[in-house]
């Protein structure tokens, strides 16, 4: 009995000793691959792992609630090839990672040796080296000083000006490789420090400088119950970090391999990490998107504009939605006579060439800027409380955007004469104002009287000549388009010869023509039995006449005479997209690079319609036959007869007259007449999947099930067989499987059942042109899974059907 009691006491003592040291390593205790240590509170675990499909072994720290989330890796550049790794701390106080030959794979490179070295994993996720006989808070080395891709509460992003140590995040190369990727998040310490996202040595995005409440690029942060931000700037260091308000909540900041910064929070109800915030919200987040002296407004149309007093540097590129060249000053500065124009609610420009003072008032700041002819703008440094400090810019103003609500005020220097022209500031007497008002009133009255006289004259003329085509008068003047007479077009098309006929759509036949001066054109002739009439004709002319984009077909003029209504377009030698992708022979002419270029071009053209043109336009009939291809296979969106325009803040509308093409219509539009930009996004998603597969959404039979193309794409995606969707004619040539899968992924995101789940076109363009992490798609619209009794369940082959593409007009009864 005594022996049993002694043994029990020994076991209890050993258990307590084990519990007391399960979060530490000493020179007498190492851990091998397969063993781990756990922080005292059970939050974090340290051990060996292999990420994704990698066979290499790494030493890392991960959350115990979500073991796939690794927050720190020691040997991220030097994996161990087998399970022989050993982690230990030497008597000299250095943490080392050894392989099977006892070679050092990684070490802490500790500068001074403790008397009794102890390595401990803290419940913050920090792995520290300390002296077991001294102050436990006096760390000789800590993993928090060497972040990987994750910022945890208590960590720092910034720089120690005394030691030169810089704290920054670097993304993994991929989900299988934790080595340093191209993306990094750091504090740029030139001028006023600011938070930037870098790809290699190039700034990709910029959160901006700290204004006392938040980074200027994110507006004014509202207090939240999860975390609090910290920003410290003094003579010895600058850093940004955050602390948790509620210690029971888990939150982290991640730089993912796609170069996107995300804040993720663990949700107990779903047992998953959910994105609380992402830094890549829209195209205005792309650094210098509108170039020098340009300002970006994600809700504007177009997105980019020059600051007041500036004009586009390259007007031709600017009109083609190429804004990178930015703007230039319209009137040179005059130094002593210059004044300032105030902008409100903006993201402040890049501060790398700025100067700041923490004690000046705003008035003193203005005086300081005026005295220096090189000073371009000024603002308050700290907007918390009543505001304080001074911030000045001395080089170009770049990477500005409108933030509503939020943002900050900035005062931009302009020549005195320029401000007078703008009318924002400067002497303006009551007499001068009254004169402007009276003069304007007289001018408006004169225009109205003249307009009335012209209207009555034209009405009288129409009655006199009794021409049926006079109803187009009045909408011709605004378009600055040539009006062709009937005989000119008849001669150009050899009297509409069948040899010149290019095709026929819902509008009517399309002919190739050659004008007298030799220009080749395409003539779209409204047929008398067309479902589209004068309203659609007028709609197309009015809309497309005001559009200019390299991915939209160019309207050269029109003809309206007697019963004839014709549109004259630039000629597209390669005809329409459907003549390639749905033709077994010609589809081989479109390799994968051609197809992805076409997808990108259509996306940019649609983005222009939705957001960057002077009008917000919903196409409502986007399909393969309405995508024309020029001689270089560049896509151009055509046929705007069914398009609708939206006002500045309008996002959706309803109609009783449902028009469009089966297979491309979104569920909410086909079923209820509700349309929006997301209706076009759905049609675009169908197009993407058709371009990848070479099959029509309603133009094939799947032998297993009564699935349309969207249904088949969804099934193959959920079964990790998405590559089977690719067109057989290019499957042998296509080696870019990641790019193909990304394209299919984007297509499925666009055809989701609920319009609010679909991305807008700005995000679509971003997803196609970058490696941003994509959200998971939900079930597509019109997805019905019902087995056909006669189907052979062993086959997944796609067979052509007799189903034809038809444009429909449905009048819904009341």
Catalytic annotation, residues = 621
Question: What's the CA gap between 750 and 697, in Å, rounded?
Answer: 14
Question: What's the CA gap between 240 and 259, in Å, rounded?
Answer: 19
306 phi-psi bin (left φ>0, alpha ψ -120 to 50, beta other): beta
Question: What's the CA gap between 794 and 787, in Å, rounded?
Answer: 12
For 234-238, which contacts have Cβ atoms below 8 Å and span 24 or more sequence positions? Answer: 235/161, 236/160, 236/161, 236/162, 237/158, 237/159, 237/160, 237/161, 237/162, 238/158, 238/159, 238/161, 238/187, 238/189, 238/193
Q: How many other CB atoms are found less than 10 A from the CB of residue 554?
A: 14
Question: What's the CA gap between 207 and 228, in Å, rounded?
Answer: 17
**Inter-helix orientation angle 592-607/677-693, to 10°:** 170
Q: Is 249 helix (H, G, I), strand (E, B) or coil?
A: coil
Q: Which two tokens stand for residue 337?
A: 């006579």
Residue 59 phi/psi, 5-degree rounding, is -95, 125
Instruction: Report the sign of the C-alpha dihedral through residues 696, 701, 707, 711, in that order.
Output: negative
Among the listed residues 465, 502, 480, the one whose alpha carbon sits nearest the alpha carbon of residue 558 = 480
Question: What's the CA gap between 754 and 621, in Å, rounded?
Answer: 19
Yes or no: say if 151 and 239 are a contact pair by the CB < 8 Å rule. no
Question: What's the CA gap between 441 and 436, in Å, rounded?
Answer: 9
Residue 310 has, within 13 A of its CA and on its CB side, a CA count of: 26
**Inter-helix orientation angle 761-769/592-607, to 10°:** 150
Q: How many other CB atoms are found less than 10 A from the CB of residue 360?
A: 20
Which residue blocks in 627-760 are alpha helix, DSSP H? 667-672, 677-693, 709-718, 728-731, 737-750
Question: What's the CA gap between 282 and 401, in Å, rounded?
Answer: 11
Question: What's the CA gap between 74 and 66, in Å, rounded?
Answer: 19
Place of tokens 């001066």: 517
Triad 664, 667, 668: Cα angle to 5°: 120
Q: Is 281 helix (H, G, I), strand (E, B) or coil?
A: coil
Yes or no: say if 557 and 476 are a contact pair by the CB < 8 Å rule. no
Place of tokens 């050894």: 98
Yes or no: say if 135 and 217 are a contact pair by the CB < 8 Å rule. no
Yes or no: say if 218 and 232 are a contact pair by the CB < 8 Å rule. no
Q: Is 484 helix (H, G, I), strand (E, B) or coil?
A: coil
């Amino acid at each position: 009995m005594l022996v049993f009691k002694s043994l029990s006491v020994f076991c209890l003592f050993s258990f307590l000793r084990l519990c007391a040291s399960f979060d530490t390593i000493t020179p007498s205790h190492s851990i091998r691959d397969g063993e781990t240590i756990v922080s005292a509170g059970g939050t974090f675990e340290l051990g060996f792992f292999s990420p994704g499909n990698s066979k290499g072994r790494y030493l890392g720290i991960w959350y115990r609630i979500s073991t796939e989330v690794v927050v720190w890796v020691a040997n991220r550049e030097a994996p161990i090839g087998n399970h022989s790794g050993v982690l230990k701390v030497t008597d000299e106080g250095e943490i080392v990672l050894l392989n099977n030959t006892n070679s050092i794979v990684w070490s802490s490179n500790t500068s001074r040796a403790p008397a009794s070295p102890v390595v401990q994993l803290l419940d913050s996720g920090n792995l520290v080296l300390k002296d077991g006989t001294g102050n436990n808070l006096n760390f000789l080395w800590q993993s928090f000083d060497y972040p990987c891709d994750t910022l945890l509460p208590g960590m720092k992003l910034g720089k120690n000006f005394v030691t030169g140590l810089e704290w920054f995040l670097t993304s993994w190369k991929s989900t299988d490789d934790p080595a340093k990727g191209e993306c990094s998040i750091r504090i740029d310490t030139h001028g006023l420090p600011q938070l930037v996202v870098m790809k290699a040595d190039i700034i990709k995005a910029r959160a901006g400088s700290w204004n006392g409440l938040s980074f200027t690029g994110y507006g004014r942060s509202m207090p939240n119950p999860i975390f609090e931000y910290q920003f410290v700037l003094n003579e010895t260091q600058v850093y940004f970090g955050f602390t948790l308000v509620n210690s029971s909540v888990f939150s982290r900041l991640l730089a993912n391999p796609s170069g996107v910064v995300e804040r993720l929070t663990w949700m107990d109800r779903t047992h998953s990490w959910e994105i609380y915030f992402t830094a890549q919200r829209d195209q205005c987040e792309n650094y210098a998107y509108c170039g020098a002296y340009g300002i970006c407004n994600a809700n504007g149309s177009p997105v980019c504009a020059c600051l007041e007093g500036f004009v586009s540097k390259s007007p031709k590129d600017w009109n083609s939605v190429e804004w990178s060249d930015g703007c230039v000053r319209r009137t040179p500065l005059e130094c002593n006579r210059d004044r300032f124009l105030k902008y409100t609610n903006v993201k402040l420009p890049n501060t790398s060439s700025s100067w700041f003072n923490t004690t000046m008032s705003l008035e003193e700041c203005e005086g300081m800027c005026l005295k220096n002819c090189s000073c371009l703008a000024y603002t308050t440094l700290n907007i918390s409380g009543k505001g304080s400090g001074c911030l000045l810019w001395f080089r170009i103003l770049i990477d500005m955007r409108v933030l509503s609500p939020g943002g900050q005020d900035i005062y931009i220097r302009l020549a005195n004469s320029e401000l007078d022209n703008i009318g924002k500031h400067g002497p303006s007497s009551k007499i001068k104002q009254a004169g402007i008002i009276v003069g304007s009133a007289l001018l408006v009255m004169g225009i109205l009287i003249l307009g009335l006289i012209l209207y009555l004259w034209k009405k009288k003329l129409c009655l006199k000549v009794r021409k049926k085509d006079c109803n187009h008068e009045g909408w011709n003047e605004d378009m600055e388009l040539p009006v062709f007479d009937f005989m000119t077009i008849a001669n150009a098309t050899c009297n509409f010869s069948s040899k010149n006929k290019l095709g026929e759509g819902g509008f009517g036949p399309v002919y190739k023509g050659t004008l007298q001066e030799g220009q080749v054109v395409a003539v779209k002739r409204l047929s008398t039995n067309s479902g589209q009439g004068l309203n659609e004709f007028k709609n197309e002319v009015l809309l497309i006449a005001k559009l200019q984009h390299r991915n939209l077909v160019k309207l050269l003029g029109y003809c309206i005479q007697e019963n004839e209504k014709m549109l004259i377009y630039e000629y597209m030698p390669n005809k329409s997209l459907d003549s390639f992708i749905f033709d077994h022979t010609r589809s081989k002419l479109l390799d994968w690079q051609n197809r992805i270029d076409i997808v990108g071009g259509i996306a940019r053209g649609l983005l222009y319609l939705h957001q960057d043109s002077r009008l917000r336009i919903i196409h409502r009939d986007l399909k393969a036959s309405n995508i024309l291809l020029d001689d270089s296979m560049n896509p151009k969106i055509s046929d705007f007869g069914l398009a609708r325009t939206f006002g500045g803040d309008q996002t959706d509308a309803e109609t009783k007259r449902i028009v469009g093409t089966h297979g491309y219509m979104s569920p909410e539009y086909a079923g209820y007449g509700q349309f929006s930009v997301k209706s076009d996004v759905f049609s675009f998603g169908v197009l993407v999947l058709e371009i990848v597969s070479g099959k029509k959404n309603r133009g094939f039979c799947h032998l297993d099930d009564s699935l349309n193309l969207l249904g088949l794409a969804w099934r193959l995606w959920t079964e990790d067989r998405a590559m089977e969707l690719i067109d057989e004619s290019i499957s042998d040539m296509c080696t870019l499987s990641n790019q193909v899968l990304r394209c299919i992924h984007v297509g499925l995101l666009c055809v989701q059942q609920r319009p609010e789940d679909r991305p807008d076109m700005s995000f679509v363009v971003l997803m196609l042109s970058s490696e941003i992490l994509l959200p998971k798609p939900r079930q597509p619209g019109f997805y019905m899974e019902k087995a056909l009794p006669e189907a052979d369940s062993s086959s997944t082959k796609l067979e052509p059907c007799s189903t034809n593409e038809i444009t429909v007009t449905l009048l819904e009864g009341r």
